[in-house]
Amino acid sequence: MKRRNFLTTATLGAAAGALATPALAESHATKVAWRLTSGFPKSLDTIYGAAETFAAAVKEATGGNFEIQVFPAGEIVPMPEASDAVASGVVEMTHTASYYYWGKDPAFALGTAVPFGLNARGINAWYYHGGGMDLMNTFYAKQNLIAFPGGNTGAQMGGWWHKEINSVADLAGVKMRIGGMGGKVMEALGVVPQQIPGGDIYPSLERGTIDAAEWVGPYDDEKLGLNKVAPYYYYPGFWEGGPTLSFMINLEKWNSLPAEYQSIVKTAAAMANVDMLAKYDAKNPAALRSLVAGGAQLRPYPKDVMEAAFAAANKLYAEIAATNPDFATIWAHMEAFRNEANLWNQVAEYTFDTFQISNRPKG
């Protein structure tokens, strides 16, 4: 299906019916030129590529009148400064993971993922039809931002380890590359979190500077060659069950757009959101086979690790909520939505998937 056809017929809740008239580009010829600073390098074709997919869709739908130029992380501003650069108007928008900025305010993390939060389908439902987008944008408005979902990896893997983990006791003193709230939860279990850029993970694991590292999943992890320096590949990445990226836009620039262009932006973002998850679902199976063939040993996290992490996460959220009203409001809403979503998931979806997986041809 061509992108124009997809955009014209898109009915996602973010922008249903936004492009009902094919003559839109001819009837609205306002010239707009924006810059988008990505939170990712070009080498990550799935994550970085979502911004290019988005920009191309906006340009095509407006007949070339609305152009958004995409820049890799660091070319205009470093990744940690992207949200501030957008809020201050240095650039019009960014494509990033909001949880990168959780140190500024923990509520930022809820826009992407928190340990034991929503899975990919759940967070899409929460954003588009559960009130999540309004809640997050009420918070973002205080930062002079507005944001729309812009991609998802699906549930991530739990990282590469030099040694097997058989119980919580095995985590004591382990130096692991993991950041954000996931790092805080693992720290409560004895891990020593390390903040290391993606490009430094391989040499750090190889030299033994760190003992374990999480990245994304099979497709991206294989590019880094992590199976060559750490044999044990754990799952699931319970700190990122459905991490959603965001297209963050300067609120004043957003308000200055014609209504038709706002609709196009929301629809193009929704398209990129769906497209990125589909790419990962299509690419991860072959990558996982390749990693296992190359020596990776798959291991599930032990039940006591999962249970201890779940308890630590809930304790952390209670502590943050006690002093942060924005976090308290959004997390309470998300938690209630997650519990209802899991009520439904355990019936048809879980039963169907479990049966299908049990009957998958072996080997």
In a domain, residue 141? The reply is: yes
What domain range is 136 assigned to?
A: 3-153+241-282
In a domain, residue 7? The reply is: yes
Write down the H helix ranges in the chain.
Answer: 3-9, 24-27, 47-61, 82-88, 120-129, 132-141, 180-188, 201-207, 218-224, 251-256, 259-293, 303-321, 325-344, 350-358
Range list of H helices, 211-250: 218-224
Q: How far is CA 225 from the centre of its chain?
A: 22
Inside any domain, residue 289: no
**Rounded to whole angstroms, how far apart are CA atoms 265 and 119?**
25
**How many domains does the structure of the chain reveal?**
1
Tens place of pLDDT for every residue, the chain, 363 residues?
Answer: 444 444 433 434 444 344 444 444 444 579 999 999 999 999 889 999 999 999 999 999 999 999 999 999 999 999 889 999 999 999 999 999 999 999 999 999 999 999 999 999 999 999 999 999 999 999 999 999 999 999 999 999 999 999 999 999 999 999 999 988 999 999 999 999 998 878 889 999 999 999 999 999 999 999 999 999 999 999 999 999 999 999 999 999 999 999 999 999 999 999 999 999 999 999 999 999 999 999 999 999 999 999 999 999 999 999 999 999 999 999 999 999 999 999 999 999 999 999 999 999 986
Domain membership flag for residue 65 = yes
**Domain-located, residue 245:** yes
Residue 309: inside a domain: no
Residue 317 located in a structural domain: no
70: domain CATH number is: 3.40.190.170
Helix/strand/coil for 267? helix
Q: Is 275 part of any domain?
A: yes
